[in-house]
């Protein structure tokens, strides 16, 4: 009896795993799927890397700095956990699988996003080669699912891949063509999330506006939103990663009539100069974007716009950059993320090289950050005294005396936070808060008794 138990015990201990999730919200959804399939597959999660027998790194690889970060994380984990089985998942294997299998020998197993469901079986296969197989584990019956890792909100990945071909972007070659998830499957997933206390759904994809085109469904995004609107328990629906050339006609009306879809739109413009936009392979008429912003603001009262811009693209001159700065200032874009151009092998723009010095790119990025902070601070100061709807996530990381949350126009992880200094609030609920102070992107407030 003892011999058997000892072997079984040895098998079970190798069943602890941990997960490091890198990259974008779409990757976080994949990580939540990995957590689900691993735990359903009989593995035990631990957040203590030092005891985990299996370490999974869900990687990002869309730009060189992300590739370097993923490799650095893996090398460090290999150092701190020499005997652990290391799994590299996500975009890195998708982009560089063949090369990495030779060069990154610190990794025991490479898995792609489409293999998440069979990961426990792949691991068991791998373990059996090392004599640690556990035949009690049964992988065939594990349904799709996810372990929610965000407080009260959840990302809903509505599609993967991309049908567009922006010249600087590696996504189409890494994640492949656009693949939308059917509306009924997304409604099922969103109901699953609502049943587990999720109040805010954040719709993400590489290009949310192209949703459903590959399914041949007309106006699919509007149809999806109308279906999600009816899910009880969900109070906020937020749209991220909208392409400026694809904003569906019915969306404005739907937002205005909706009790849940926030008048908050994330639309990466990338630039405003016609010359630079054309070189990027993006809708290049600058006036197109100006007209779009004007019509959205005219038709959606109280709209808050988030955008991402890229500085340092090969053809960008001082004049082009100043045009971008003027556009952001004149159209008062509320939330702006800025990236410095990074030439990526395999993209059409790679042949253009990287003529703009890093010093200039950094300077331009800092100027945009400075402008964004100034515009946000001015807008936030004008909200002092106002009562705003806020989602309370929990005790603040800064201090146990503060509760932390977000106002309706603060997307998680990118738009600053709300600190609540007074009032007993229920975590995971949306409640009225009176804004009392503003500091940069962050707001402070007290509970407003309704």
Which residues are at the interface with ligand SF4 (CB under 6 A)?
Answer: 162, 164-166, 169, 171-172, 206-207, 243
Concatenate the DSSP letters of all residues of 293-323 into one string. Answer: HHHHHHHSTT-EEEEEEEE--TT--HHHHHH
Q: How far is the CB of 172 from ligand SF4 (least distance, A)?
A: 5
Nearer to ligand SF4, 280 or 403 (CB): 280
Task: Answer yes or no: are the C-beta atoms of 62 and 94 closer than 8 Å.
Answer: no
List the 16-21 sheet strands across, edge first.
44-45, 16-21, 54-59, 85-90, 109-110
Nearer to ligand SF4, 246 or 405 (CB): 246
Q: Which residues pair with 390 in a beta bridge?
A: 407, 431
Say how far apart CA 411 and CA 408 lie, in whole Å: 8
Of the candidates 268, 151, 163, the one whose C-alpha atom is nearest the C-alpha of residue 202 is 151
In this structure, the chain runs to a length of 450
Q: How far is the CB of 150 from ligand SF4 (least distance, A)?
A: 22
Nearer to ligand SF4, 189 or 207 (CB): 207
Nearer to ligand SF4, 234 or 324 (CB): 324
Structure tokens at 335: 């939330």
Q: How far is the CB of 243 from ligand SF4 (least distance, A)?
A: 5
Where in 324-376 does DSSP place strands (E)? 335-340
Nearer to ligand SF4, 206 or 376 (CB): 206
Q: How far is the CB of 280 from ligand SF4 (least distance, A)?
A: 9
Q: How far is the CB of 11 from ligand SF4 (least distance, A)?
A: 42
Nearer to ligand SF4, 283 or 405 (CB): 283
Q: Locate tokens 């413009």: which residue? A: 269
Of the candidates 273, 270, 309, 267, the one whose C-alpha atom is nearest the C-alpha of residue 292 is 267
Q: How far is the CB of 126 from ligand SF4 (least distance, A)?
A: 32
Residue 312 dihedral angles phi and psi, to the nearest 5°: 90, 15
Q: How far is the CB of 239 from ligand SF4 (least distance, A)?
A: 15
Structure tokens at 143: 């349904």
Parallel, antiparallel, or unpaired for β 430-439 and 442-447? antiparallel
Nearer to ligand SF4, 74 or 171 (CB): 171
The H helix count followed by the E strand count for the chain is 13, 18
């Amino acid at each position: 009896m003892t011999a058997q138990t000892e072997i079984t015990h040895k098998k079970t201990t190798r069943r602890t795993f941990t997960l490091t999730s890198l990259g974008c919200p779409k990757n976080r959804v994949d990580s939540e799927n990995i957590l689900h399939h691993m735990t359903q597959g009989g593995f035990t999660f631990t957040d203590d890397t030092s005891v985990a027998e299996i370490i999974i790194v869900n990687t990002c690889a869309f730009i060189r700095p992300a590739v370097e970060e993923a490799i650095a994380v893996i090398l460090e984990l290999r150092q701190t956990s020499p005997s652990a089985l290391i799994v590299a998942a996500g975009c890195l294997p998708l982009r560089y699988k063949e090369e990495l299998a030779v060069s990154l020998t610190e990794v025991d197993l490479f898995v792609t996003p489409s293999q998440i469901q069979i990961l426990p079986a792949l691991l068991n296969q791998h373990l059996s080669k090392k004599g640690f197989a556990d035949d009690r584990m049964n992988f065939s019956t594990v349904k799709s699912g996810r372990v929610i890792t965000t407080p009260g909100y959840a990302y809903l990945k509505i599609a993967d891949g991309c049908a567009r071909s922006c010249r600087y972007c590696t996504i189409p070659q890494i994640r492949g063509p656009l693949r939308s998830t059917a509306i009924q499957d997304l409604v099922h997933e969103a109901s699953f999330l609502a049943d587990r206390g999720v109040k805010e759904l954040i719709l993400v994809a590489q290009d949310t506006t192209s949703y459903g085109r590959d399914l041949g469904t007309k106006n699919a995004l509007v149809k999806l939103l109308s279906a999600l609107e009816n899910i009880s328990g969900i109070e906020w629906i937020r749209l991220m990663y909208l392409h400026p050339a694809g904003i569906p006609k019915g969306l404005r009306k739907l937002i205005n009539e909706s009790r849940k879809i926030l008048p908050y739109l994330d639309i990466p413009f990338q630039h405003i100069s016609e010359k630079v936009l054309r070189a990027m392979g993006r809708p290049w008429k600058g006036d197109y974007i100006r007209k779009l912003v004007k019509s959205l603001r005219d038709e959606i009262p109280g709209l808050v716009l988030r955008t991402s811009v890229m500085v340092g693209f090969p053809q960008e001159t001082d004049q082009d950059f100043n045009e971008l700065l003027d556009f952001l200032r004149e159209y008062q874009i509320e939330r702006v993320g800025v990236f410095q151009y990074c030439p990526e092998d395999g993209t059409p723009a790679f042949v253009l090289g990287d003529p703009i010095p890093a010093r200039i790119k950094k300077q331009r990025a800092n100027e945009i950050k400075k402008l964004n902070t100034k515009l946000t601070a001015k807008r936030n100061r004008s909200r002092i005294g106002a009562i705003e709807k806020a989602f309370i996530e929990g005790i603040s990381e800064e201090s146990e005396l503060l509760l932390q949350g977000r106002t309706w126009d603060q997307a998680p992880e990118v738009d600053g936070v709300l600190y609540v200094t007074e009032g007993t609030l229920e975590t995971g609920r949306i409640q009225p808060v009176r804004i009392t102070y503003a500091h940069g992107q962050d707001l402070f407030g007290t509970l407003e008794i309704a």
